[in-house]
């Protein structure tokens, strides 16, 4: 039962990541491939605040969200000037740099040794240190992420984002500050990714750079595409399926050296099949361009 609870908790964390990335990729149509960087920043920021400054994880999660949002603002400056493949490469490069910093800044992050003994969340004196105790917190944050994201995409702000996706030039000709909207959506998405990182760190209670590789960004992007571009419900479905699916390999008795490459092969095969049969994803309304 603890194992099942753990999978649900991890699925919830990836739901937050997928919905936040969908704001950038699905609604604004910006090819960002570096979401793991904000996930990493949030995890390390909250962990270091707790371990080095003795700050409660509840305050740490706010700190990690703020720091990740600040990094999102920095990355958004390139988004305002780049487009297409150039933006994709720039955001992926940011993920590579973030991972390299986490791996090589030994004095701060302990590098490959990671950060152990990260304190879990506590509520009314109870430590949320098991999967089933932690799961309600993840569900609440998922709901908040969904409601905030839904309110954004259904508002005039969201309609401008969709206008940017369809035709940036026409949207700008209507008097909209396209660069500003791009910056705002990056900041919001980075903020929620930072929260997801903090949740992950205080749940697992140990982090190292291997959990935040640039390839993790591609996995999150696949969840967005699989569930559906421009669909928050699709993001929830895509993340849940692609978190649960690899776990089935554990019951096949395959060695780790085989299971890991097989997982990537399954991801790739699913993406190719989906692009051929339903390019807009399971519940999406728009095709990947």
Q: What is the pLDDT of residues 229-243, one digit of tens each?
A: 888 999 999 999 888
Mean pLDDT of 247-275: 70
Residue 288 has pLDDT above 60, yes or no: no
Is 90 within a domain?
yes
Q: In sequence order, which residues have a C-beta less than 8 Å from that of residue 137 and are 6 or more positions away? A: 121, 123, 128, 199
Q: Tokens for 148?
A: 């905030």
Write out the residue range of the structural domain in which residue 194 sits: 2-213
Is 276 within a domain?
no
Is 282 within a domain?
no
* CB neighbours of residue 123 within 10 Å: 11
Residue 64 has pLDDT above 80, yes or no: yes
Q: What is the pLDDT of residues 68-104, one digit of tens each?
A: 999 999 988 887 787 778 888 889 999 999 999 999 9
Is 62 within a domain?
yes
pLDDT for res 284 = 74
Is 219 within a domain?
no
Number of domains observed in the structure of the chain: 1
Find where tokens 């910006």 sit.
Answer: 30
Q: What is the pLDDT of residues 98-157, one digit of tens each?
A: 999 999 999 999 989 989 999 999 888 788 888 889 999 999 999 999 999 999 999 999
Is 207 within a domain?
yes
Task: Give the span between the Cα atoms of 227 and 241, in whole angstroms.
Answer: 9
Mean pLDDT of 45-74: 93
Q: What is the pLDDT of residues 169-219, one digit of tens each?
A: 888 888 888 889 999 999 999 999 999 999 999 999 999 998 898 888 988
* CB neighbours of residue 274 within 10 Å: 20
Percent of residues, the chain, with pLDDT higher than 70: 93
Is 254 within a domain?
no
Residue 238 exposure: Cα atoms within 13 Å on the Cβ side: 32
Task: Give the span between the Cα atoms of 173 and 2, in whole angstroms.
Answer: 55
Higher pLDDT, 273 or 289: 273
Q: Rounded to two decimals, what is the model's pTM?
A: 0.92
Is 236 within a domain?
no
Q: Which residues of 25-41 are buried (b: 16+ CB within 10 A; e: fewer)?
A: bbbbbbbbbbbbbbbbb
Percent of residues, the chain, with pLDDT higher than 90: 50
């Amino acid at each position: 039962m603890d194992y099942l609870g753990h999978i649900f908790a991890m699925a919830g964390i990836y739901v937050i990541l997928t919905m936040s990335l969908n704001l950038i990729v699905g609604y604004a149509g910006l090819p960002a491939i570096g979401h793991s960087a904000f996930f990493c920043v949030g995890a390390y920021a909250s962990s270091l605040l707790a371990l080095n400054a003795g700050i409660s994880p509840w305050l740490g999660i706010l700190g990690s969200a703020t720091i990740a949002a600040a990094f999102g603002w920095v990355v958004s400056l390139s988004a305002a000037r780049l487009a297409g493949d150039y933006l994709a490469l720039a955001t992926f490069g940011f993920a590579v740099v973030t991972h390299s910093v986490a791996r090589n800044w030994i004095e701060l992050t302990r590098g490959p040794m990671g950060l152990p003994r990260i304190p879990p969340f506590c509520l009314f004196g109870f430590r949320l240190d098991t999967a089933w105790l932690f799961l309600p917190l993840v569900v609440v944050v998922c709901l908040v992420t969904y409601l905030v994201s839904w309110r954004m995409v259904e508002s005039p702000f969201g309609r401008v984002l969709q206008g940017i996706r369809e035709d940036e030039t026409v949207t700008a000709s209507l008097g909209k500050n396209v660069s500003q909207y791009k910056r705002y959506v990056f900041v919001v998405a980075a903020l929620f990714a930072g929260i997801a990182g903090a949740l992950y760190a205080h749940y697992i209670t140990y982090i190292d750079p291997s959990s935040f590789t640039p390839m993790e960004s591609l996995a999150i992007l696949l969840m967005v595409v699989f569930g559906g571009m421009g669909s928050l419900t699709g993001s929830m479905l895509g993340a849940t399926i692609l978190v649960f699916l690899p776990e089935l390999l554990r019951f096949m008795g395959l060695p780790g050296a085989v299971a890991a490459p097989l997982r990537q092969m399954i991801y790739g095969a699913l993406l190719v099949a989906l692009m051929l049969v339903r390019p807009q994803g399971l519940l999406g309304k728009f095709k990947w361009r």
